[in-house]
Chain A
Amino acid sequence: MILHRKGVGRAVVYIFLILFLIVELFPILWVVATSFKTSIDIFNWPPKIWPDPVTLSNYAYIFNDMNLQNYLLNSIIVAIITTVICIIIGIPCAYAISRFHTGGKGLSSWILMQRMIPSVAIIIPLFILLWKIHLLDTWFGLAIAHVTYSLPFGIWLMIGFFGDIPIELEESGMVDGCTRMGAFRRLTLPLVVPGLVAMAVLIAIQSWNEFLYAVILTSSRKSQTLPVAISVLVHPVTDILYGEMCAAAVVAIIPVFIFTLSIQKYLVRGLTAGSVKG
């Protein structure tokens, strides 16, 4: 707004934006390019930007020798369990808070606090608890840990979504003979579905990316997720396998990239949930 009125040309803004994006995203492009390079190209000085020849050997290594698909599967399953739990117990809670003000202001601000409080406060007791009930190093145990921060996030986001739907809509439905559940299911739910999908995607991405709980609560290939597998590549006992490390990172980036672009419309609201009003 400011710059516009001071007559800075639009072209200048575009050029600056594009230059900025090139600088900002260069590190990502570099990793993507490196994942297709032969080891001779990787160690070349001066550094070569484009892989020549293009090779898939790094990908072959991580899938054939490192068995990355195993960790990939763990990541996917944990993300799905986390998302499903959040949706099943989050929707009714958010709906109750939004429509009946369950628990008043106290409950909703307490939920927000759950999201803000440093996770270090619960990680040790959570570890001991999961250890005692034999859920350490399982998909479900890790998913529970992910739910502890995703559920408050999801509920907070959903309270906003339900708040957008006028209560009169449901009331008119009930006048026409719907039960409250029926009014919710037929009238409100379809309207909030796009928001819920965005929320589910964000929760899944958070779980997919999460590292602290993953490294503490898992210990074998039975349940270790992709970030844990990659961390072993970044911080190895012996030499770093650069090409293979980059290939594994690309595997972790691709779904995030696709899903981020697919929920563009809700991104701002989702990423700033609990910080700015809808």
Chain B
Amino acid sequence: MAAPALVFFLVTGIYPYIMNIYYSLTNWNLIHSGPIFTGATNYIKAFADSTFLLSVLRTFGFIAIVIPLEFCLGLGMALLLSREDIIGKNIFRSLILLPMMLSPVVTSVIWKMMYSVQFGPLNYFFKVLGLSDGRTEWLSDPKLAFPALAVATIWMWFPFSFLVLLAGLQSIPREQYESAKIDGASWWNELRYITLPNLLPSIMVVVLVRFLDALKTFALVYTLTGRGPGSSTELIYYEIFRVAFRDFNIGYASSLSIIVVLVSILACGLILKLSRKYASYEY
């Protein structure tokens, strides 16, 4: 019964990886010629390619900024909604998670409007609060475009942390809180010694899934900032897209994609290992 799905997975889940490895060993420009086998040349080239290396570093920096902020925002809202006496919990939950249901392109439209220089609400609020002169170029200032991209990403994806952590909170046995109450534990101690240790599996899920998803940030870069100004917001997916489908350097782009996959597998392994170490220390 599983046969049709397995056939599909063979075609889309194994064949492409093999072909990708093969392409990565060739020099293949779609405009000029077919693939010419060149061995590891592409990989050697990649490790001297500062545009590529910078975009990898930038992507990891981006991930290191968005995940903790999404997590804090998600945890805060999850703690608030895990109260049992909130009426209309489902409505609140659905409204909070609305941004993550949108297309990233719609998110781009939304933030293009928010960041607009001449008539954007953000500039207006900053001016009213006396924080700026109301002419801030959010998306074309090289220093601001990267944080602006991060804010849009956090806005869109903190609901995921919220959802997973809310599910995690609801599965913590209530007895633990009751005995803590008897022992006179403070609010902070409850969070530190009951809530967070119990949430650890959910926290790992949030970090892992969001790590892999944030790595894929593409549509926001493509539409909101267009990698600019300069290349200050060029993340790795956009870089590979550009090499493959703007320059049509299929061979080189394949080798970049394989490096990215290997690096992300390594990073996931590291996250898992750290979590185990932390977990055993915690209990």
Contact = CB atoms under 8 A, between A and B. Distances in A.
Interface of A: 1-6, 10, 13-14, 16-17, 20-21, 24-28, 30-31, 34, 42-47, 88-90, 92-93, 95-97, 102-103, 107, 110-111, 114, 116-129, 144, 147-148, 151, 155, 205, 208-212, 215-216, 226-227, 230-231, 233-235, 240, 242, 245-246, 248-249, 252-253, 256-257, 260-261, 264-265, 267-268, 271-272, 275-276
Given A47-B121, A252-B105, 19 more contacts: A92-B5, A95-B1, A114-B13, A116-B209, A117-B261, A121-B258, A124-B254, A127-B244, A147-B12, A209-B102, A209-B103, A212-B216, A231-B108, A260-B97, A260-B98, A264-B90, A272-B160, A272-B163, A275-B205
A89 B224 CA distance: 37
14 contacts: A1-B83, A5-B177, A10-B86, A17-B81, A24-B96, A28-B110, A114-B13, A118-B212, A119-B216, A209-B103, A227-B103, A230-B109, A249-B109, A257-B98
A147 B8 CA distance: 9
Interface of B: 1-2, 4-6, 8-9, 12-13, 15-17, 19-20, 23, 77, 79-86, 90, 92-106, 108-114, 116, 118-121, 124, 155, 160, 163-164, 166-169, 172, 174, 177, 181, 187, 190-191, 195, 202, 205, 208-209, 212, 215-216, 218-219, 222-224, 226, 236-237, 240-241, 244-245, 250, 253-254, 257-258, 260-261, 264
B97 A271 contact: yes
Q: In the complex, which of the residues A90, A110, A248, A275 has the most CB atoms of chain B within 10 Å of its own CB atom? A: A275
A118 B240 CA distance: 12
A138 to B, nearest CB: 16
Tell me what chain B mostly uses at the interface: helix, strand, loop, or mixed. Answer: helix
A249 B118 contact: no
A72 to B, nearest CB: 13
A236 to B, nearest CB: 11
Contacts of A144: 12
B5 A155 contact: yes
A103 B222 CA distance: 40
Contact of B264 (A21, A118, A212): A118
Nearest to B4: A89
Nearest to B226: A235
Contacts of A25: 95, 98
B5 A93 contact: yes
A253 B107 CA distance: 10
Given A212-B237, A240-B112, A205 B155 contact: no
A212 B261 contact: no
A6 B180 CA distance: 12
Given A129-B16, A235-B226, A272-B164, A89 B103 contact: no
B16 A267 contact: no
A120 to B, nearest CB: 5
A142 to B, nearest CB: 13
Contacts of B124: 45-47
Contacts of B166: 268
Contact of B109 (A4, A14, A26, A246): A246
Given A90-B5, A268-B167, A276-B168, A13 B253 contact: no
A276 B174 CA distance: 20
A211 B164 contact: no
Contact of B82 (A1, A30, A90, A103): A1
